Amino acid sequence: MPNTLFLRPIANPLVVALAYDRLCTFEFGIATEIFALPRPEMGENWYRFAVAGVDEGEMRATGGLRFQVDGGLDLLAEAGTIVIPGWRGVDSPVPKALIEALRAAHARGARILSFCSGAFVLAAARLLDGKAATTHWRYTEALTERHPEIGVSPDVLYIDAGDVLTSAGTAAGLDLCLHLIRRDFGTEAANLVARRLVVPAHRDGGQAQFIRQAVPRAHEKSRLGPLLDHIRENLGADHSVATLARRTGMSERTFLRRFEAATSMTPARWLLAQRLGKARDLLEETNTSVEEIAALAGFGTTGTLRHHFRLHLSTTPAAYREAFGNRAAQ
């Protein structure tokens, strides 16, 4: 059993998940697994959980399961975080009472997360107007056509717009939840939950929803796998396409094609993601100076590090450490 973490308290730890007739069982299961499962190793400041029923009377989930809830939409008035675990159909109307309850909760300061088709509920409530959002790739065209005021991204896992957060289909809800844990409690807490779930601790929100060639051919995997490990272990080095191609024994053109097929990213974009991840880990878990972090993560100068933090994370390294840093390391 791991030692108990001492998590900093958040303003309102109550997470309320919506439940409705024809509930998306898998997406709802993600919400309960993350937020409702007892986690004594997280200490006393972990989330609390409740389920709010959207419909009156008996409700069934996909697969025919019948379920009970803790209360009605009035629970949303108490929530610090609300989860919309999918929706019963992209063409299914969203009840006016649900729209009003979500808008009131949002105005009060609650964060709202949607999984998969749950983005259509947020859109109906006009809570995504003027914001970037995503949903399952099968539905992005429909969401764009019906709500042109939303900046729909069809090829990302999740988008954190601050007070509204949307994820792509099905399992991407796990990535979004781990991101929220990381945002609320830091890397150590997110990693601990990920280990218990037996999933990757962090997949960047900008990663593609699906990779057309998920696993490289065997002879290519034997060359690309060690290369990726080498880069991660030497982020401070200068990695050009020419040197990386030579290391794999490929021509530059072949290397670029095979690398993108395997990772769904260009080498430059993948390397930047690794460097940002390394910098974030160091800021969260150590008291290493920003200057040294810039060098260790491969950015070279603090100016370059700050530039990429502003561009990709909309913050500065110092502000990021203040928000997410492990107090024990500081």
**3-state SS of the chain?**
CCCCCCCCCCCCCEEEEEECCCECHHHHHHHHHHHHCCCHHHCCCCCEEEEEECCCCCEEECCCCEECCCECHHHHHHCCEEEEECCCCCCCCCCHHHHHHHHHHHHHCCEEEEEHHHHHHHHHCCCCCCCEECCCCCCHHHHHHHCCCCEECCCCCEEECCCEEEECCCCHHHHHHHHHHHHHHCHHHHHHHHHHHCCCCCCCCCCCCCCCCCCCCHHHHHHHHHHHHHHHHCCCCCCCHHHHHHHHCCCHHHHHHHHHHHHCCCHHHHHHHHHHHHHHHHHHHCCCCHHHHHHHCCCCCHHHHHHHHHHHHCCCHHHHHHHHCCHHHC
Are 41 and 77 in contact by the 8 Å Cβ rule? The answer is no
Are 295 and 306 in contact by the 8 Å Cβ rule? The answer is no
Q: Which of 36, 106, 45 is nearest to 77 (CA)?
A: 106
- The residues carrying an active-site annotation are 116
For residues 265 and 90, what is the distance between their CA atoms, to the nearest angstrom? 30
Q: What are the distances in angstroms from CA 36 to CA 14, 15, 48, 49, 261? A: 10, 9, 7, 5, 38
